Amino acid sequence: MLEHLLSKQLIINMGKGGVGKSAISAMIARVAASQGKRVLVCEVNAKERMSQLLGGTPPEQDDSLEQIWTINERISAVNIQPAPAMKEYIVQVLHMRLLYNLVFENRVMRYFLRAVPGLQELIFIGKVWFHVEEDKHKGAPRFDLVILDAPATGHGLALLRIAKVVMDTVPAGPMRQAAEKIQKMLQDPKRTCINLVSLPEEMPTNETVELYHKLRDELKMPMGSLFLNQWPRHPLDPESPMHPMSKSGIEEAFDTLRVEAKQDPLLWPMALAADGGLHRLNKAREYLLELLKEVGLPTYTLPRFSQDDEHDLTQLTASLAKSWSQSKPLLASDIKDFERGEKSA
Protein backbone atom coordinates (compact mmCIF):
# COMPACT_ATOMS: atom_id res chain seq x y z
CA MET A 1 0.00 0.00 0.00
CA LEU A 2 2.84 2.39 0.88
CA GLU A 3 4.57 1.63 -2.42
CA HIS A 4 1.35 2.35 -4.31
CA LEU A 5 1.01 5.72 -2.62
CA LEU A 6 4.62 6.69 -3.30
CA SER A 7 4.29 5.72 -6.97
CA LYS A 8 2.27 8.92 -7.58
CA GLN A 9 3.73 12.12 -8.98
CA LEU A 10 1.44 14.39 -6.95
CA ILE A 11 0.19 13.76 -3.41
CA ILE A 12 -2.23 16.28 -1.90
CA ASN A 13 -2.80 16.21 1.86
CA MET A 14 -6.07 17.77 2.98
CA GLY A 15 -8.04 18.19 6.18
CA LYS A 16 -9.33 20.50 8.85
CA GLY A 17 -6.93 23.10 10.19
CA GLY A 18 -4.84 21.89 13.11
CA VAL A 19 -4.95 18.15 12.39
CA GLY A 20 -1.27 17.90 11.43
CA LYS A 21 -1.27 18.08 7.62
CA SER A 22 2.17 19.68 7.54
CA ALA A 23 3.64 16.96 9.76
CA ILE A 24 2.13 14.28 7.52
CA SER A 25 3.48 16.03 4.40
CA ALA A 26 6.95 16.11 5.98
CA MET A 27 6.61 12.47 7.03
CA ILE A 28 5.74 11.34 3.49
CA ALA A 29 8.62 13.43 2.12
CA ARG A 30 11.05 11.70 4.49
CA VAL A 31 9.91 8.21 3.52
CA ALA A 32 9.91 9.00 -0.21
CA ALA A 33 13.40 10.51 0.02
CA SER A 34 14.64 7.43 1.90
CA GLN A 35 13.62 5.43 -1.18
CA GLY A 36 15.71 7.64 -3.45
CA LYS A 37 12.98 9.96 -4.72
CA ARG A 38 13.53 13.65 -5.38
CA VAL A 39 10.75 15.40 -3.48
CA LEU A 40 9.27 18.89 -3.53
CA VAL A 41 6.99 19.91 -0.65
CA CYS A 42 4.65 22.82 -1.49
CA GLU A 43 3.08 25.04 1.13
CA VAL A 44 0.53 27.64 -0.01
CA ASN A 45 0.75 31.23 1.21
CA ALA A 46 1.30 30.01 4.76
CA LYS A 47 3.68 30.43 7.65
CA GLU A 48 6.73 28.44 6.58
CA ARG A 49 6.86 25.11 8.50
CA MET A 50 9.09 22.73 6.57
CA SER A 51 12.35 24.06 8.04
CA GLN A 52 11.02 23.15 11.49
CA LEU A 53 9.72 19.76 10.38
CA LEU A 54 12.52 18.68 8.06
CA GLY A 55 15.49 20.86 8.99
CA GLY A 56 17.39 23.31 6.82
CA THR A 57 17.19 27.08 6.71
CA PRO A 58 15.06 28.87 4.13
CA PRO A 59 16.60 32.00 2.57
CA GLU A 60 15.56 35.24 4.27
CA GLN A 61 14.94 36.79 0.88
CA ASP A 62 14.61 34.82 -2.34
CA ASP A 63 14.53 36.89 -5.51
CA SER A 64 14.48 33.87 -7.82
CA LEU A 65 11.48 33.26 -10.03
CA GLU A 66 10.64 29.83 -8.59
CA GLN A 67 11.23 30.48 -4.84
CA ILE A 68 12.36 26.87 -4.22
CA TRP A 69 14.94 26.16 -1.53
CA THR A 70 16.86 22.98 -0.72
CA ILE A 71 16.36 21.15 2.57
CA ASN A 72 18.73 18.29 1.82
CA GLU A 73 20.01 16.28 -1.11
CA ARG A 74 16.61 14.72 -1.80
CA ILE A 75 14.03 17.18 -0.44
CA SER A 76 13.24 20.74 -1.54
CA ALA A 77 10.45 23.06 -0.43
CA VAL A 78 8.54 26.07 -1.62
CA ASN A 79 6.05 28.33 0.13
CA ILE A 80 3.93 29.56 -2.78
CA GLN A 81 3.32 33.30 -2.46
CA PRO A 82 0.90 35.28 -4.69
CA ALA A 83 3.22 37.83 -6.37
CA PRO A 84 6.20 35.63 -7.33
CA ALA A 85 3.87 32.73 -8.19
CA MET A 86 1.86 34.97 -10.51
CA LYS A 87 5.00 36.12 -12.29
CA GLU A 88 6.26 32.56 -12.70
CA TYR A 89 2.86 31.36 -13.95
CA ILE A 90 2.57 34.10 -16.58
CA VAL A 91 6.17 33.73 -17.74
CA GLN A 92 6.73 29.96 -17.45
CA VAL A 93 3.27 28.47 -17.98
CA LEU A 94 1.50 30.95 -20.25
CA HIS A 95 4.79 32.09 -21.89
CA MET A 96 3.70 35.73 -21.81
CA ARG A 97 6.63 37.69 -20.37
CA LEU A 98 5.64 40.81 -22.32
CA LEU A 99 2.11 40.62 -20.86
CA TYR A 100 3.56 40.39 -17.37
CA ASN A 101 5.85 43.37 -17.89
CA LEU A 102 3.08 45.52 -19.37
CA VAL A 103 0.22 44.56 -17.06
CA PHE A 104 1.35 42.84 -13.88
CA GLU A 105 4.20 45.23 -13.09
CA ASN A 106 1.67 48.08 -13.13
CA ARG A 107 0.82 49.00 -9.52
CA VAL A 108 -2.82 49.84 -10.26
CA MET A 109 -3.33 46.64 -12.25
CA ARG A 110 -1.75 44.56 -9.50
CA TYR A 111 -4.26 45.97 -7.02
CA PHE A 112 -7.12 45.24 -9.44
CA LEU A 113 -5.96 41.70 -10.17
CA ARG A 114 -5.80 40.80 -6.49
CA ALA A 115 -9.57 41.31 -6.43
CA VAL A 116 -10.30 38.97 -9.36
CA PRO A 117 -12.16 35.93 -7.91
CA GLY A 118 -10.21 32.70 -8.15
CA LEU A 119 -7.12 34.15 -9.81
CA GLN A 120 -4.83 33.46 -6.86
CA GLU A 121 -6.09 29.89 -6.54
CA LEU A 122 -5.43 29.29 -10.24
CA ILE A 123 -1.91 30.69 -9.87
CA PHE A 124 -1.22 28.51 -6.83
CA ILE A 125 -2.41 25.24 -8.35
CA GLY A 126 -0.79 26.23 -11.66
CA LYS A 127 2.59 26.42 -9.95
CA VAL A 128 2.06 22.95 -8.44
CA TRP A 129 1.19 21.60 -11.89
CA PHE A 130 4.27 23.25 -13.37
CA HIS A 131 6.60 21.48 -10.93
CA VAL A 132 4.89 18.12 -11.49
CA GLU A 133 5.52 18.51 -15.22
CA GLU A 134 8.85 20.35 -14.96
CA ASP A 135 11.66 19.05 -17.21
CA LYS A 136 9.66 16.05 -18.45
CA HIS A 137 10.45 17.15 -21.99
CA LYS A 138 14.10 16.50 -21.16
CA GLY A 139 13.40 12.83 -20.49
CA ALA A 140 13.03 12.89 -16.69
CA PRO A 141 11.11 15.18 -14.32
CA ARG A 142 12.99 17.48 -11.99
CA PHE A 143 11.01 16.01 -9.06
CA ASP A 144 9.83 12.42 -8.75
CA LEU A 145 7.17 13.45 -6.25
CA VAL A 146 5.45 16.75 -5.49
CA ILE A 147 3.61 16.93 -2.15
CA LEU A 148 1.01 19.67 -1.71
CA ASP A 149 0.43 20.57 1.93
CA ALA A 150 -3.00 22.01 1.14
CA PRO A 151 -4.66 24.83 3.08
CA ALA A 152 -7.48 23.99 5.50
CA THR A 153 -10.64 22.45 4.06
CA GLY A 154 -12.42 25.47 2.56
CA HIS A 155 -9.40 27.03 0.87
CA GLY A 156 -8.13 23.60 -0.12
CA LEU A 157 -11.36 22.82 -1.95
CA ALA A 158 -11.19 26.19 -3.71
CA LEU A 159 -7.74 25.25 -5.04
CA LEU A 160 -9.06 22.01 -6.48
CA ARG A 161 -12.22 23.55 -7.95
CA ILE A 162 -10.70 26.52 -9.75
CA ALA A 163 -9.40 24.73 -12.87
CA LYS A 164 -12.88 23.38 -13.67
CA VAL A 165 -14.39 26.84 -13.03
CA VAL A 166 -11.97 28.36 -15.56
CA MET A 167 -12.75 25.62 -18.09
CA ASP A 168 -16.47 26.36 -17.74
CA THR A 169 -16.22 30.16 -17.94
CA VAL A 170 -13.13 31.27 -19.86
CA PRO A 171 -13.10 31.17 -23.68
CA ALA A 172 -10.45 29.27 -25.64
CA GLY A 173 -6.94 30.57 -25.10
CA PRO A 174 -3.79 30.07 -23.04
CA MET A 175 -5.52 30.33 -19.66
CA ARG A 176 -8.18 27.78 -20.53
CA GLN A 177 -5.57 25.43 -22.00
CA ALA A 178 -3.56 25.66 -18.78
CA ALA A 179 -6.69 24.97 -16.72
CA GLU A 180 -7.46 21.88 -18.82
CA LYS A 181 -3.96 20.52 -18.18
CA ILE A 182 -4.29 21.18 -14.46
CA GLN A 183 -7.68 19.46 -14.29
CA LYS A 184 -6.39 16.47 -16.24
CA MET A 185 -3.51 16.10 -13.76
CA LEU A 186 -5.78 16.42 -10.71
CA GLN A 187 -8.18 13.74 -11.92
CA ASP A 188 -5.57 11.26 -13.15
CA PRO A 189 -5.47 8.36 -10.64
CA LYS A 190 -2.19 7.10 -12.07
CA ARG A 191 -0.40 10.35 -11.24
CA THR A 192 -2.36 11.96 -8.41
CA CYS A 193 -3.98 11.03 -5.13
CA ILE A 194 -5.53 12.99 -2.30
CA ASN A 195 -4.92 11.91 1.28
CA LEU A 196 -7.15 12.95 4.14
CA VAL A 197 -5.65 13.87 7.50
CA SER A 198 -7.77 13.84 10.64
CA LEU A 199 -7.81 13.31 14.40
CA PRO A 200 -9.78 10.72 16.42
CA GLU A 201 -12.14 13.43 17.67
CA GLU A 202 -15.73 14.39 16.89
CA MET A 203 -15.36 17.60 14.85
CA PRO A 204 -12.40 16.45 12.71
CA THR A 205 -14.19 13.15 12.06
CA ASN A 206 -17.39 14.85 10.90
CA GLU A 207 -15.49 17.28 8.67
CA THR A 208 -13.39 14.47 7.20
CA VAL A 209 -16.49 12.51 6.17
CA GLU A 210 -17.97 15.63 4.55
CA LEU A 211 -14.69 16.46 2.79
CA TYR A 212 -14.36 12.92 1.47
CA HIS A 213 -17.77 13.02 -0.21
CA LYS A 214 -17.08 16.43 -1.77
CA LEU A 215 -13.78 15.23 -3.20
CA ARG A 216 -15.03 11.88 -4.44
CA ASP A 217 -18.60 12.63 -5.50
CA GLU A 218 -18.51 16.31 -6.49
CA LEU A 219 -14.96 16.85 -7.74
CA LYS A 220 -14.28 13.26 -8.90
CA MET A 221 -10.79 13.33 -7.43
CA PRO A 222 -8.69 10.16 -6.98
CA MET A 223 -8.44 9.29 -3.30
CA GLY A 224 -5.42 7.83 -1.52
CA SER A 225 -5.25 7.08 2.22
CA LEU A 226 -6.55 8.46 5.50
CA PHE A 227 -4.02 9.42 8.17
CA LEU A 228 -5.49 9.51 11.67
CA ASN A 229 -3.03 11.58 13.62
CA GLN A 230 -2.29 11.65 17.38
CA TRP A 231 -3.72 8.22 18.11
CA PRO A 232 -3.74 7.84 21.93
CA ARG A 233 -1.33 5.35 23.40
CA HIS A 234 -2.77 2.55 25.49
CA PRO A 235 -2.71 3.81 29.11
CA LEU A 236 -2.03 0.32 30.48
CA ASP A 237 0.30 -0.90 27.73
CA PRO A 238 1.78 2.15 25.92
CA GLU A 239 4.24 0.12 23.82
CA SER A 240 1.61 -2.35 22.65
CA PRO A 241 1.88 -3.14 18.90
CA MET A 242 -1.69 -4.45 18.85
CA HIS A 243 -4.28 -3.53 16.27
CA PRO A 244 -5.62 -0.15 17.47
CA MET A 245 -9.21 -1.41 17.46
CA SER A 246 -8.44 -4.57 19.46
CA LYS A 247 -9.05 -4.68 23.19
CA SER A 248 -6.18 -6.34 25.01
CA GLY A 249 -6.47 -8.86 27.83
CA ILE A 250 -5.01 -6.28 30.19
CA GLU A 251 -8.14 -4.16 29.73
CA GLU A 252 -10.32 -7.03 30.91
CA ALA A 253 -8.03 -7.57 33.91
CA PHE A 254 -8.24 -3.86 34.70
CA ASP A 255 -12.02 -4.10 35.09
CA THR A 256 -11.44 -6.45 38.01
CA LEU A 257 -8.56 -4.44 39.46
CA ARG A 258 -10.60 -1.23 39.33
CA VAL A 259 -13.05 -2.66 41.89
CA GLU A 260 -10.22 -3.64 44.20
CA ALA A 261 -8.42 -0.32 43.72
CA LYS A 262 -11.38 1.56 45.21
CA GLN A 263 -10.43 0.10 48.56
CA ASP A 264 -6.82 1.34 48.36
CA PRO A 265 -6.21 5.11 48.72
CA LEU A 266 -2.82 4.76 46.98
CA LEU A 267 -4.07 2.79 43.97
CA TRP A 268 -7.33 4.63 43.39
CA PRO A 269 -5.84 7.86 41.87
CA MET A 270 -3.77 5.73 39.47
CA ALA A 271 -6.83 3.68 38.57
CA LEU A 272 -8.77 6.87 37.84
CA ALA A 273 -5.99 8.14 35.56
CA ALA A 274 -5.88 4.82 33.71
CA ASP A 275 -9.67 4.86 33.46
CA GLY A 276 -9.58 8.31 31.82
CA GLY A 277 -6.96 7.09 29.35
CA LEU A 278 -9.08 4.07 28.47
CA HIS A 279 -12.10 6.31 27.94
CA ARG A 280 -10.13 8.47 25.46
CA LEU A 281 -8.86 5.36 23.70
CA ASN A 282 -12.35 3.87 23.39
CA LYS A 283 -13.74 7.15 22.02
CA ALA A 284 -10.89 7.18 19.47
CA ARG A 285 -11.88 3.64 18.48
CA GLU A 286 -15.46 4.82 17.91
CA TYR A 287 -14.29 7.62 15.59
CA LEU A 288 -11.97 5.24 13.75
CA LEU A 289 -14.84 2.81 13.23
CA GLU A 290 -17.04 5.64 11.91
CA LEU A 291 -14.32 6.75 9.46
CA LEU A 292 -13.78 3.21 8.20
CA LYS A 293 -17.52 2.87 7.60
CA GLU A 294 -18.15 6.29 6.07
CA VAL A 295 -14.89 6.90 4.20
CA GLY A 296 -13.44 3.43 3.76
CA LEU A 297 -9.97 4.53 2.65
CA PRO A 298 -6.90 2.59 3.80
CA THR A 299 -6.33 4.16 7.21
CA TYR A 300 -3.09 4.65 9.11
CA THR A 301 -3.20 5.47 12.81
CA LEU A 302 -0.17 7.50 13.82
CA PRO A 303 0.68 7.60 17.53
CA ARG A 304 0.77 10.58 19.81
CA PHE A 305 4.42 10.98 20.74
CA SER A 306 6.02 12.25 23.92
CA GLN A 307 6.21 15.95 24.71
CA ASP A 308 9.96 15.84 24.06
CA ASP A 309 9.31 14.73 20.46
CA GLU A 310 6.59 17.36 20.04
CA HIS A 311 9.04 20.13 21.00
CA ASP A 312 11.63 18.78 18.52
CA LEU A 313 9.58 18.84 15.32
CA THR A 314 12.30 17.32 13.13
CA GLN A 315 12.46 14.37 15.53
CA LEU A 316 8.67 14.20 15.53
CA THR A 317 8.46 13.79 11.75
CA ALA A 318 11.34 11.29 11.83
CA SER A 319 9.40 9.25 14.42
CA LEU A 320 6.23 9.51 12.34
CA ALA A 321 8.11 8.35 9.24
CA LYS A 322 9.49 5.34 11.07
CA SER A 323 6.06 4.45 12.47
CA TRP A 324 4.33 4.80 9.09
CA SER A 325 6.92 2.85 7.11
CA GLN A 326 6.54 -0.09 9.53
CA SER A 327 2.74 -0.10 9.72
CA LYS A 328 -0.06 -1.60 7.70
CA PRO A 329 -3.28 0.29 6.98
CA LEU A 330 -6.63 -0.60 8.46
CA LEU A 331 -9.22 -1.47 5.85
CA ALA A 332 -13.01 -1.39 5.76
CA SER A 333 -12.92 -5.20 5.83
CA ASP A 334 -11.50 -4.98 9.38
CA ILE A 335 -14.83 -3.65 10.66
CA LYS A 336 -16.46 -7.09 10.87
CA ASP A 337 -13.57 -8.53 12.89
CA PHE A 338 -13.72 -5.63 15.32
CA GLU A 339 -17.50 -5.80 15.76
CA ARG A 340 -17.29 -9.56 16.18
CA GLY A 341 -14.72 -9.05 18.94
CA GLU A 342 -16.95 -6.45 20.61
CA LYS A 343 -19.91 -8.82 20.70
CA SER A 344 -17.90 -11.74 22.05
CA ALA A 345 -16.47 -9.48 24.78
Q: Look at residue 200 and tell me whether its pLDDT is greater than 90.
A: yes
Looking at the chain, the whole-number percentage of residues with pLDDT higher than 70 is: 73
Highest mean pLDDT among 112-116, 292-296, 323-327, 336-340 belongs to 292-296
Give the pLDDT score at 273.
Answer: 67
d(CA 48, CA 26): 12
Mean pLDDT of 203-226: 96
Q: Look at residue 194 and tell me whether its pLDDT is greater than 70.
A: yes
d(CA 295, CA 216): 10
Q: Look at residue 1 and tell me whether its pLDDT is greater than 80.
A: no
Give the pLDDT score at 292.
Answer: 93
Which CATH architecture is the domain 2-344 placed in?
3-Layer(aba) Sandwich (3.40)
Domain limits of the chain?
A: 2-344
The amino acid at residue 315 is: Q
pTM of the model: 0.86
Mean pLDDT of 239-260: 63
Give the pLDDT score at 271.
Answer: 67
Give the pLDDT score at 247.
Answer: 65
- Residue 97, sorted as left (phi over 0), alpha (psi -120 to 50) or beta, turns out to be alpha
Of 31-35, 137-141, 177-181, 183-187, the poorest mean pLDDT is in: 137-141
Q: Look at residue 67 and tell me whether its pLDDT is greater than 60.
A: yes
d(CA 319, CA 303): 9
Q: How many CB atoms lie within 10 A of CB 145?
A: 25
Q: Where are the beta strands (DSSP E) in the chain?
A: 10-14, 39-44, 69-70, 75-80, 145-149, 192-198, 223-231, 299-303
Give the pLDDT score at 344.
Answer: 46
Of 112-116, 196-200, 218-222, 269-273, the poorest mean pLDDT is in: 112-116
Q: Look at residue 10 and tell me whether its pLDDT is greater than 90.
A: yes
Give the pLDDT score at 185.
Answer: 97
Give the pLDDT score at 93.
Answer: 58
Comparing C-alpha atoms, which of 18, 65, 22, 23 is closest to residue 44? 22
Tens-digit pLDDT profile for residues 275-317 = 777 788 889 989 999 999 999 999 999 988 765 555 578 888 8
Q: Look at residue 343 and tell me whether its pLDDT is greater than 50.
A: no
d(CA 284, CA 212): 19
Question: Who has greater pLDDT, 41 or 130?
Answer: 41
Question: Who has greater pLDDT, 119 or 192?
Answer: 192
Task: Annotate 287-318 with b (16+ C-beta within 10 A) or e (fewer).
Answer: bbbbbbeebebbbbbbbebeeebeeebbebbb
d(CA 177, CA 278): 55
If pLDDT is split at 50, 70 and 90, which confidence band does 53 have? very high
Residues 6+ apart with CB under 8 A from 308: 315
d(CA 117, CA 342): 51
Residues 6+ apart with CB under 8 A from 151: 44, 45, 46, 159
Tens-digit pLDDT profile for residues 84-108 = 777 766 666 555 555 555 555 556 4
Of 134-143, 197-206, 223-232, the poorest mean pLDDT is in: 134-143
Give the pLDDT score at 345.
Answer: 46
If pLDDT is split at 50, 70 and 90, which confidence band does 112 have? very low
Give the pLDDT score at 168.
Answer: 92
